[in-house]
Structure 1
Amino acid sequence: MNDVTELRRFVEVHARILGIPQDASRRVLGRIGHDLDGEPGSWAREWTAAGTVEERAGRELSAGRFFNIARFPYVDGPARAEAQELTVTSFDRWRLGQRAGIQRLDLELSGGRVRCWAAGLDPAGSGELPPLLLFSGGIVSVKEQFGPILARAARLGVAAVATEMPGVGENTWRYTADSHRMVSELLDALKGRADVTRSYAVMMSFSGHLALRAALEDKRVRGIVTAGAPVRDFFADPDWRPRIPRVTVDTLAHLTGLEPGSVLGHIADWGLSEAELARLDVPLAYIASERDEIIPPGDRLLLERHVRGLRLLAHDDVHGSPGHVAESRLWSLRSALEMIGGHGPQRAVLGAALALLRGRGRMPVLGGPRNGEGR
């Protein structure tokens, strides 16, 4: 059973990223007292009930956000399994109503079935293929959260595909040391429908670690945008392990199929070495939280010392920087478009929005020692 106090603490960033109003989130949390599966006052039941209210009002995208939190941090019983299904179903109804060309992709890869949402793909491989933006969240985030950006893919002139970490949501892969191979297999499957030789990974948290590993082996990955991704010390530093929150340890155990007491030891050698980081020859845009409870500060220092193409944005905030969601989102999208090239008008709009936030004193400007200004 999950520790509800800890869930409350870590759900804040996810609720803000999803766009759930703070007062609505507080009302639901006020009704939660335990995590007994499906019981009144339980985590999954109360968040699901809030989503059902939105659904009955015809607000499908909003409903899916509440269902998403109901399945947080991972499916561990019937109530969260129902919430996971409702998350997908409500998103499906929303995307059909948008008429934005968002389509479902079911891909059978070597490690299992990977289900994605996609937009901007060329169905026949005719004409000049668009570059690919590959989106993924971390160990507790499902692909449906990327719906709004998928709806903009056509206007941006890119193909966009949203997927999930191995073991998360509808991804049936097991999370292993070789999970980064999923990225290359996805690119193989999308060949002919997007220009996969120009692929850019917008992959957050633990999926950012997969993107870093994939880029070392697959030259089709031309750039990475990530936030709060583990690099080496999270995996390897024994002094950091006692500080890792229980919800993170439990989720990693669930995704790997291991016991919570052994999972951190099992993944101790999954980090990237200094030599591997020095070999990384693609631009990397990384958002760091200076008071991160999950990712140790040594991981940021490793990137600053060894990654030539690093552009860093640091927030004085906890993991996921819940107080800086708007800034992080704008900076991430602008960074991705800059890596692709072109998109002058879109980049100008994003730059103006970032300048406005900076002018209000809400956004720091930081860069690594080799990398200049973190615009």
Structure 2
Amino acid sequence: MSKYAEPLGIELIRQAPKALLHDHLDGGLRPSTVLDIAAQIGYDDLPATDVDELATWFRTAAHSGSLVRYLEPFAHTVAVMQTPEALHRVAFECVEDLAADSVVYGEVRFAPELHIDQGLSLDAVVDAVLAGFADGEKAAAAEGRTITVRCLVTAMRHAARSREIAELAIRFRDKGVVGFDIAGAEAGYPPTRHLDAFEYMRNNNARFTIHAGEAFGLPSIHEAIAFCGADRLGHGVRIVDDITVDADGAARLGRLASILRDKRIPFELCPSSNVQTGAVASIAEHPFDLLARLRFRVTVNTDNRLMSDTTMSQEMLRLVEAFGYGWSDLERFTINAMKSAFLPFTERLAIIDEVIKPRYAVLIG
């Protein structure tokens, strides 16, 4: 696929501009921040009180082979994100960490309904997070790192507040919220339970993505696209079940896989997380490369940087090591993501033409 015979190293990859579409705010806290806020608010249920031990616990607990068990550690991060100050800090540090990894555009999602235990309104929750993102952008710019971060508000698929959260997305659409999502355990909670929310988004000419095809199979993907009208797929790795590879290496696409490729539906693939949840057995067996070779619109994402102990650079490195990718491949995946962002077209194009392509041109030489 790539003309480069030698794999790229982590230090070089860190220099590459990156676009991130699938990153959960409550899955990306610094362990030190979790400990610090917990001490401030008197939260004493953490499984460890040492930074390194806590980081190891999150990573180990998340590597469970089950999406349901993978989600359990989030109880601790959500618990320390219940005040405006904490939400602002977490959002600010999120931008700092992404900028340090040369992310030039990021869409970070979170579920406002999980952060109202101490009396905050949904609007106050979103206000605090957006303020943190904005201040993080300014701080990064002051250090010579230009980054744009936008927000997706997420509804929990097991709850009954999706229409309310969709309305929240529209209220804040001109203030930094660019889309809507549903997340949580897939099995037993199909996306069609939230049709009202998706119809509301479409009626308001707004964009949304849906977690589908991660822990559940093709029916989840089919519903997300055919019935709900998703613009992108969160994960979607089980689309591989609709692709048959013959002994001679020729691939045959089923009807669902074909329409997703034909319509250029973006896949928000998260390699390390997909292994941790048991969606795939290993990075080497991840369908990312098959989908990339078949020219699906694949993108590289972190999902949960704390739980997966990862960064965008590390996700790219793992793909490089598994599949031998070079700069031209990483550039294509990055442009795929930027094309698929929920920013207005002119802003997407500006980042592609004025940031991503020029910086890759320097790296490629």
Shared fold (TM-score, shorter chain, > 0.5): no
Per chain length, whose mean CA-contact separation is higher, i.e. which structure has more relative contact order (CA < 8 Å, sep 6+)? 2
